[in-house]
Amino acid sequence: MKRLTPYLLILPGGLWLAIFLVVPMVFMASVSLQEGDSLNGFVQTFNVGIYGDVLAQYRTQFLRSAGYGLIGTLIAVVLAYPMAYWIAFKGGERKSTYLLLVLLPFFVSFVLRTVSWKFLLADDGMVLAPLKSAGLLPDDFHVLQTTTAVVGGLVYNYLPFMILPIYVALERVDPKVIEAAQDLYAARRQAFTRIVLPLSLPGVFAGVLMTFVPMTADYVNASILGGPDNTMIGNIIQVEYLTNGDYPTAAALSFALMAAMLIGIFAYARALGTENVLEAAAR
């Protein structure tokens, strides 16, 4: 019975993943290899060539999505690390309060948060209108329907996913280790680069994964804050599924996006050095 205990413990989670992840993925893979239309039905033809077709047709949207995800993730790291560092080492007894403030936007719907930015950044909104009236901005200046608006929306919506893992990693750093480095005449910069930063890499690694993947697959920010020139691959998948009813194309796009992100994640893990990250996490 003791030998079966570990398997029994993972059984509920394993069944959940099998039913709601593996089965839908297998079904979607089958759909991606079909041909037909929503009126006459779809037939399984194992049309593997559809993957080459969608990659060629929507290459621009794939590259744009990857670019937005990469830029947004880099900005999130730059913004999140100082915030997480300050909360972990300077927050004191109010750490829980600061973390609650970080999570506070999640009490509001994702779509509503994005729509609120559309009102704030509108040409006649409460931010740009006063600046234009004061002559600080030209009358034709606009932010909506630009790359800046889309990337800004992505960073705003997913920033907590970067802050929390980094904070958890920094919280585990023993202040006595930093004090020991300073006792050995290490400058504050050296103590940070040689001790704090390496020990916080597991948090950065997790934060990048938790932000890059949803940013790249996002379609809400591009739909609300962007324009025709800011269409991401998620928008194409949405249109193919819900508007055009072209399920094979939508499924093939979804699988191609997932495969591209997995390749990027493995390359990132290899470049960062997963073994070093795991060793730092185990300390």
Would you call 36 helix, strand, or coil by DSSP? strand
| 8 A C-beta contact, residue 190 and residue 181 | yes
Residue type, 204: V
How many other C-beta atoms are found inside a 10 Å radius of the C-beta of residue 195?
Answer: 17
Taking residues 74-101, report their average pLDDT.
94
User: What would the DSSP string read from start to end of 63-128?
Assistant: HHHHHHHHHHHHHHHHHHHHHHHHHHHH-GGGHHHHHHHHHGGGGS-HHHHHHHHHHHTSTTSTTH
Q: Tokens 């901005």 appear where?
A: 137
Region 142-151: what's the mean pLDDT? 93
Among 28, 19, 5, which Cα is nearest to 257's? 28
Q: What is the pLDDT of residues 241-281, one digit of tens each?
A: 999 999 999 999 999 999 888 888 888 777 766 555 555 44
Mean pLDDT of the 149-157 span: 95
Nearest Cα to 76, choosing from 217, 253, 209? 209
pLDDT in the model for residue 279 = 55
- pLDDT-derived band at 282 (thresholds 50, 70, 90) equals low
H-state helical runs in 218-283? 220-225, 233-238, 247-272, 274-282
- Long-range Cβ contact pairs of 106-113 (< 8 A, separation 24 or more): 106/160, 110/157, 110/220, 111/220, 111/224, 113/156, 113/157
- pLDDT of the residue at 211: 95
* Per-residue model confidence (pLDDT) at position 281: 47
Residue 283: pLDDT above 60? no
Give the pTM: 0.88
CA-closest candidate to residue 217, choices 126, 137, 154, 269: 154
pLDDT cut 70: percent of the chain above it: 95
What is the pLDDT of the chain when averaged over all its residues? 89
Per-residue pLDDT tens over the stretch 7-18: 888 999 999 989
At residue 275, the pLDDT reads: 55
Distance CA 31, CA 35 (A): 8
Task: Indicate the helix (H) or strand (E) that contains 42.
Answer: strand 41-44
CA gap 109, 55 in Å, rounded: 33
What lies within 8 Å, CB to CB, of 67 at 6+ separation is none
Q: What are the tokens at 37?
A: 């239309």
